[in-house]
Amino acid sequence: MQVGGPVGAPAHRLYFARNGSPVSPWHDIPLMANSSTNEYNMVIEIPRWTNAKLEINTLAPFNPITHDTKNGQLRYVANVFPYKGYIWNYGALPQTYEDPHEVDAHTQCVGDGDPIDVLEVGQSVCAEGSVHKVKVLGALALIDGEETDWKVLAIRSDDPQSQVINTVGDLEVHMPGLVAATVDWFTKYKVPDGKPPNTWAFDAKPKDDVYARDVIRTAHASWKKLVQTAHSDLALSNASVDESLHRMSQEDQGDAYNALFGRGSVPTAEPSEDANSKWHYIPSR
């Protein structure tokens, strides 16, 4: 349920609800869509070819998708030649957490404090807030400000090419150049904002699907630990996680729903002017 206006409006919020009660896309959507086939649920935050930096808000009750801000300004990614906005459907794996208090055993850097990011490479543009079953193909380890920021490569299970793409190797055969473009995109995307190029673990080489699933298992274990924490700065309210100390009763869920949607608590607003038509050319080093 969208409140606060469309994408580009400062108050934009996309909440998730089930049977008249709010649910968290971070906590209430299961990680696994089908454990026997190693298929995962993915929450789409940012549709391909768009620029607005949308994300599951880990600080707001029930974790709506919101437009990220910095210094009071809405954030957009620049168009870095030859790309337009995000070049995949960008989203997150629910029930995962890259713990900023734990050193990642793979990268020797702490986590970034968010759910694991997913880059969905299928042929369709997915809508903000949609949830899709995906197959994990591999992962890249971005190092952002000395924090580990895993980027899982995946494809929707219902994509026509998912029958022939099961690994990073398959991805290179059927979508040659996409992994290299992904590395190039993440290396350069902050440069137009005056920041240095990003760096990578493992020489920017992708890890395979088996390795990626191990990374996901670790992040899922960190999430389980998190939701059993009594006190946290993060928003851990949920409707369905049995082991969580923050599961809400049916009555409390109804009260939360009314507070969020029943009284127009978030004012609507028109989007600000989209100035993301500029193209940046950044020479390769």
Predicted TM-score of the model (pTM): 0.91
Alpha-carbon torsion (39, 43, 45, 48), positive or negative: positive
Backbone phi, psi, residue 44, to 5°:
-80, 125
Q: Which position has the higher pLDDT, 4 or 268?
A: 4
**Is a pLDDT exceeding 60 seen at residue 275?**
no
Contact 75, 53 (CB under 8 A): yes
DSSP code at position 204: G
Residue 136 contacts by C-beta under 8 Å, 6 or more apart in sequence?
Answer: 38, 40, 152, 153, 154, 209, 212, 213, 216
Condensed to tens digits (0 to 9), the pLDDT of residues 161-201 reads 999 999 999 999 999 999 999 999 999 999 999 999 999 99
Residue 273's pLDDT band, with cuts at 50, 70 and 90, is: very low
Condensed to tens digits (0 to 9), the pLDDT of residues 28-43 reads 999 999 999 999 999 9
Condensed to tens digits (0 to 9), the pLDDT of residues 68-84 reads 988 888 999 999 999 99
What six digits make up the tokens of 3? 């409140």
**CA atoms of 66 and 86, how far apart (whole Å):** 17
Q: Residue 51's pLDDT is what?
A: 95
Relative to beta strand 131-144, strand 39-46 is antiparallel
